[in-house]
Amino acid sequence: MSSSKENELHNYSTTDSKATPTSVAFSEGDDGSLNSKSSPYENAEAINRGFFHNFIDSFKPIDMGEIDPNLTDVEKAAIIAARSPLNRGLKNRHVQMIAIGGAIGTGLFVGSGTALRNGGPASLIICYFIVGSMIFTTVQSLGEMAVAFPIAGGFLSLNSRFISPAWGFCMAWNYAMQWVIVMPLELVAASLTIKYWNDSINSAAWVTIFYFVILFVNIFGVKGYGEAEFWFSTIKILAIVGFCIFGIIINCGGGPNGHYIGGEYWHNPGAFNHGFKGLCTVFVTAAFSFSGTELVGLTAAETPNPRKTLPSATKQVFWRIALFYITSLTIVGLLVPHNDPKLLSDNSNGKSASPFVIAITRAGIKGLPSVINVVILLAVLSVANAAVFACSRCIATLGDQGFAPKWFGYIDRNGRPMVGIAVVFTFGLLCYLAASPKEATAFAWMMSISGLSSLFTWSSICIAHIRFRHALKSRGRDPKDELSFMALTGVWGSYWSVILNILILIAEFWVALFPTNKADAYSFFENYLNPIVLVFFMFIYFCMKKGRVQLVIPTSELDVDTGRKFEDMDLLRQEIEDEKLYIKSKPFYYKMYKFWC
């Protein structure tokens, strides 16, 4: 790398230099990030102009300054990501709730019914536990990189930097496509959930209401998203805790009929269903249920102090897995036999397929099924809201990295990726397919396009983490000396996650190709289309670069500094020591809380 390039990259490291181009109104925040600012005169003028004019002006683009044209595409993308013009409006409570409950949605409340039907209660617990362990190690790896690189685009930008631009192109487009499809799907699911109470109103009417509710929330930028997710997650968590208490009481004979259930359904009809193939099927459903867990990594660029917020947030994932998935699904497996007729039905409104609703209905409790359906409705809207956040940031990253037209990276003065948000809501109009008699077929194929996207996303995060650690090691740099947060599971946790992701992809290949004893091409493409889409994206990138493509960046060329949040390690160690002394002076329960949370 030439000296001019080194200087350019050095100038945009988040702490090495406080100087920024004069054309950009940036200041360095307490966390070392670059934030936009305005002069007192501009603030006074804004007050005089009034709310309406200020609101209109907020949609104007933020000035990103000039970048040395001699830099490579990867270096330019790293600098743009390091500037992070996104608004750091997420508070600690927002990030904690996004981590602990943000991704809880139809995968748990409804998809677990399909998993129970296909594999039985034992397969349900085994698969969710194994996949949960993979998710925990992945989020730990993600947390380490997100704290070190609190940059716009998060792990999507790091894929290009630590693996290759070609793979980064595929992953960014794949991830954007995943969420742009999820939004209309969830809006339709929300409208269908309403049919539990009233099926006489056209679904398109409910879709319209939910569409504008999500639009209203996201007009307020990341603060709107964070506040909505805080309350959505709070309600979901309270509902699951309540269900667990309820389930234990019912299982022990505390229901209206006084019947003690215990492990009866594990013996008849049995703990497993459909043998090993049923187990493999549940693996795929479990992976889908954890989709969105990685969203906490995208919040780093919009959090005031990632070093303090994200390590705690990554620990919360343990509780989500242990309590909200494993515990609740264990209780579901005890209360609902896998051959329950309602699990076997294909009712499209989702109410009959939810094992949580079935468990309460079987117990003979009046009124509670409606409460659970309200929670399911809120969970669905929560996922739709998360889809707007994830996809809009991903689209902005595509523009920043040169993977899409430059205007895709448009960020307004309030830190909102407005083009990304506009694209998401444009595709969100697909929700009106709910009024079509072919909507089930259309959405099934839409889901197949990105059905395995999360597995590739998680694998990429872990591979990027492995290469980041190897790059530091090759330079003789000890992570302990320069990383303020290190993954609890280390680099070996990333290896475990990559291996497990590969095994799940192999299992899904088998299940998709042989849903019965005979090969079925329709089933294969309906369930395994995403890898083919990735190959298509790679072909597109080869055409864009006219065949001059670097599939893997050599370790010696990896950029491990641009956008880094460097710390004064001596000061940091003293701060950590003070925190330990403070915790040591507290009662036992507080110590336990801080250790796990």
pLDDT tens column, 321-359: 777 888 999 999 999 999 988 886 544 444 446 899 899
Of 12 and 184, the one with more pLDDT? 184
Average pLDDT of span 305-315? 75
Number of helices (H), then strands (E), in the chain: 27, 2
Give 94's pLDDT tier (boundaries 50, 70, 90).
confident
Tokens of 510: 């088998």
Residue 411's pLDDT band, with cuts at 50, 70 and 90, is: confident
Between helix 368-400 and helix 418-427 the angle, nearest 10°, is 130
Q: What confidence score (pLDDT) does residue 439 get?
A: 67
Among 450, 404, 424, 562, smallest CA distance to 74 is for 562
CA pair distance 277, 283, nearest whole angstrom: 10
pLDDT tens, residue by residue, 475-523 = 888 888 778 888 888 899 999 999 999 999 998 899 888 888 888 888 8
Who contacts 314 (Cβ-Cβ below 8 Å, separation ≥6)?
99, 139, 140, 142, 143, 296
Query: How many angstroms separate the Cα of 139 from the Cα of each of 128, 147, 237?
Result: 16, 12, 20
Among 74-83, 324-333, 358-367, 384-393, the least confident range: 74-83
Dihedrals phi, psi of 61, to nearest 5 degrees = -70, 150
| pLDDT score recorded for residue 550 | 82
How far from the centroid of its chain's Cα atoms is residue 575's Cα? 31
Digit-coded pLDDT (tens) for 115-127: 899 899 999 999 9
Please say whether the dihedral angle defined by the alpha carbons of residues 394, 395, 401 and 404, taken in this order, is positive or negative: positive
Q: For the residues 50-58, what does the mean pLDDT come to?
A: 53
DSSP H/E element including 88: none
Collect all residues with Cβ–Cβ distance below 8 Å to 434 and sequence separation of at least 6: 187, 188, 191, 192, 203, 204, 207
The secondary structure of residue 293, as a DSSP letter, is T
Segment among 221-225, 244-248, 470-474 with least mean pLDDT: 221-225
Q: Helix, strand or coil for residue 67?
A: coil
Please give the mean pLDDT across all residues of the chain: 79
Q: pLDDT for 545-577, tens place per residue?
A: 887 888 889 988 888 887 776 666 677 777 777
Kindly give the residue spans of alpha helices, DSSP state H, lying in 349-489. 355-362, 368-400, 418-427, 439-450, 453-474, 479-482
How many Cβ atoms are within 10 Å of 218's Cβ, its own excluded? 20
The better pLDDT of the pair 564, 544 is held by 544
Checking if the pLDDT of 597 tops 70, the result is no
Q: What is the pLDDT of residue 567?
A: 60
Residues 194, 192: Cα–Cα separation, whole Å:
5
Q: Average the pLDDT over 74-87 and give the result.
A: 55
pLDDT of residue 181: 87
Alpha-carbon torsion 426, 174, 562, 483, what sign? Answer: positive
Model confidence pLDDT, tens digit, residues 251-276: 998 888 788 998 999 999 999 998 88
Q: Prior bond to 369 cis, omega within 30?
A: no
The dihedral sign for the CA sequence 150, 155, 161, 166:
negative
pTM score of the predicted model: 0.81
Cα–Cα distance, 144 to 358 (Å, whole number): 40
**What CATH number belongs to 89-535+545-566?**
1.20.1740.10
**3-class SS at 405?**
coil
CA 310-315-318 angle, to 5 degrees, is: 145
531 φψ region: left (φ > 0), alpha (ψ -120 to 50), beta (else) = alpha
Ordered by start, the domain boundaries in the chain are 89-535+545-566
Q: Say if residues 391 and 298 touch (Cβ distance below 8 Å).
A: no
CA angle 11, 15, 18 (to 5 degrees): 55
Write down how long the chain is: 597
Percent of the chain with pLDDT over 70: 79
- Residue 193: the pLDDT is 83
Q: Is-contact 269 337, C-beta < 8 A?
A: yes
